[in-house]
Structure 1
Amino acid sequence: MSDGARVIVGVNGSLHSLTALHRAAEEARIRRADLVPVLAWTPVGGERNYRARPCPPLLRAWQDLADARMTDALEQAFGGLPVGVPVRPLVVRGDAGAVLTELADRPGDLLVVSAGEQGVRARLRRVLRRSVTRRCLDRARCGVLVVPPSTLHEDLRALHRGIDLRELVSA
């Protein structure tokens, strides 16, 4: 169906990444491109700790968990694989920002990432650790589409904090 065009999207199973996955599927349909959802993972404790104490059975278990997260993300987003677009999911061991920018290496590619979590805590985490989105924007060799959070995210955040949404509507 596609002529080699790809829409590559970072997936981690969060609500933000599922929003980006939906947008990426829409872009892939419009562009008649392959949809390439990518879930990057690293061993618990990081690569350095794993190299110091390798444990192949544990590594296989982490790979299996990453594969299951990808399957779950596609199931949550689309009820399986999206219809009307070729999908080539990838689960790759490595830092998410580096993996995404290395895969999105063609000028015709489109890299889709979530803007991520908003708010004070998220800003503090970004100060302490550079975000995947920022890394992709800095290093990508193709177009990057940053998908903002859905308005549904704020509604869910309000519910989580115990705010009655009916009060917001009547105000």
Structure 2
Amino acid sequence: MPVRTDRVVVGVDALLSQRAALRWAAKEALHRHAVLCPVLAWSPPYGETLSALFPGPEAADTRCGEAARKQLTALCRAALPRQADRLDIEAVVARADAGRALIACATHPTDLLVISADGDHSLRHDRTRRYCRRHAPCPVVVVGDSGPCGQVLERWTPSSSRYSRGSAS
């Protein structure tokens, strides 16, 4: 019997590798009868610091948030065309750093946090993975983009304080 998981939280953006992580998370949510929580974090086009120093019209922030919501909806529709009607989905759009947004959603030890292993290993995504590893109260799974639903590359549990590598489910 699968471990009880309240939510499967997954970080998404427009990258193809993130779509594989979203598909993997959806499959896992179905298997565990859990809520799928795709999270899209966004920040103002010129960053939070400049936005705080030189605040623009409030309408600009509203437009950015609406654009992020539309992007998340489109990503979910594209990545989950068959599963969407069978899933309980709680999509979250957050004006925050990606790591902080993911940790704010994955708050319970029975949650599962899914992060993409981007092929380019950009500093931004590496920083997000490190932040989540340090702060997640729940297991963290890193999913690569190989195969139609991705492949588990690493698992981490808060009690073990280290990763296990491999694709074991």
**Could you say which TM-score interval applies, normalised by the shorter chain?**
0.7 to 0.9
Distance of aligned partners of 1:109 and 1:45 in 2 relative to their CA distance in 1, 3 Å threshold: same
Alignment gaps of 5+ in structure 1? 153-171
| Mapping for residues 6-25 of structure 1, pairs under 5 Å | 6-25=7-26
> Matches of 1:38 and 1:110 in 2, distance apart?
13
Equivalent pairs counted in the alignment come to 144
> Matches of 2:28 and 2:125 in 1, distance apart?
29
In the TM superposition, structure 1's runs of 4+ consecutive aligned residues that sit over 2 Å from their partners are 128-131
| Structure-1-length-normalised TM-score | 0.77
> Matches of 1:147 and 1:96 in 2, distance apart?
16
Helix, strand or coil at the partner of 2:86: coil
* Aligned position for 2:60: 58
Distance of aligned partners of 1:103 and 1:63 in 2 relative to their CA distance in 1, 3 Å threshold: same
Amino acid at match of 2:110: G
Q: Return the structure number with greater strand share.
A: 2
Residue by residue over 1:3-50, the C-alpha shift from the partner in whole angstroms, topping out at 9 and shown as x without a partner, is: 881110101121011100000001111111000111010111111111
* Aligned position for 1:147: 143
* Aligned position for 1:43: 44
Quick check: 1:74–1:81 contact (8 Å CA) kept in 2? no
Match of 1:134 among 124, 130, 139: 130
Distance of aligned partners of 1:129 and 1:142 in 2 relative to their CA distance in 1, 3 Å threshold: closer
Residue by residue over 1:90-111, the C-alpha shift from the partner in whole angstroms, topping out at 9 and shown as x without a partner, is: 1111000111012111000000
Residue by residue over 1:121-150, the C-alpha shift from the partner in whole angstroms, topping out at 9 and shown as x without a partner, is: x3xx43x88432222122211001110122
| Structure-2-length-normalised TM-score | 0.77
Deviates most, 106-115 or 76-85: 76-85
Identical-pair percentage? 34
Amino acid at match of 2:60: L
Helix, strand or coil at the partner of 1:131: helix
* Aligned position for 1:69: 71
Structure with higher Rg: it is 1
Distance of aligned partners of 1:6 and 1:46 in 2 relative to their CA distance in 1, 3 Å threshold: same
> Matches of 1:116 and 1:28 in 2, distance apart?
21
* Aligned position for 1:94: 96
> Matches of 1:80 and 1:30 in 2, distance apart?
15
Amino acid at match of 2:129: T
Deviates most, 56-65 or 106-115: 56-65
